[in-house]
Amino acid sequence: MQYLELNALQNELGPYGLVVLGFPSNQFGKQEPGQNSEILPALKYVRPGGGFVPNFQLFQKGDVNGAKEQKVYSFLKNSCPPVAEEFGNPKNLFWEPLRNHDIKWNFEKFLVGTDGVPIMRWYHRANIATVKNDIIAYMRQQRGQ
């Protein structure tokens, strides 16, 4: 469902400057086990399937937590407070060391301003309507409305 919601968000707010970026990771329950070349076909035919094609840029798979995390995630996580204190089942988390600021599960989201400064962070279970409303409020604030 999250991929469909991200497509809808890009469709609706893209004309106003929103750019959705997706960073696949296999660190949460090993849910992204394939090679980079398999990600788009898996989305199209398996999950979510039904011919789905993301309308946002999807990057290569990488680590978002732990010793080999991508530098962009080190920056984002250190710029915004953590969205939750607790981790899920440690048997489903595939990185070390565990840190309080870590991404807790797939589809945690960040809003970054046009100046590259992280603005806010949402828990992976945040309602997409809440995310959208927060983004709209930020965009209006930036335009002085």
Tens digit of each residue's pLDDT (9 = 90 or more) over 82-120: 998 888 888 999 999 999 999 999 999 999 999 999 999
Give the model confidence (pLDDT) of 7-23 as tens digits: 999 999 999 999 999 99
pLDDT score recorded for residue 1 = 61
Range of the domain at 66: 2-142
Residue 97, preceding peptide bond in cis (omega within 30° of 0)? yes
What distance in Å separates the CA atoms of residue 52 and residue 47, rounded to the nearest whole number? 8
Other beta carbons within 10 angstroms of residue 76's beta carbon come to: 19
As given in the structure block, the two tokens for residue 59 are 């990057």
CATH of the domain at 126: 3.40.30.10
Number of domains in the chain: 1
Give the model confidence (pLDDT) of 19-71 as tens digits: 999 999 999 999 999 999 999 999 999 999 999 999 999 999 999 999 999 99
Predicted TM-score (pTM) of this structure: 0.92
Question: Is residue 118 within a helix (H) or strand (E), and if so which, with residue range?
Answer: strand 118-122
Q: Mean pLDDT for the chain?
A: 94
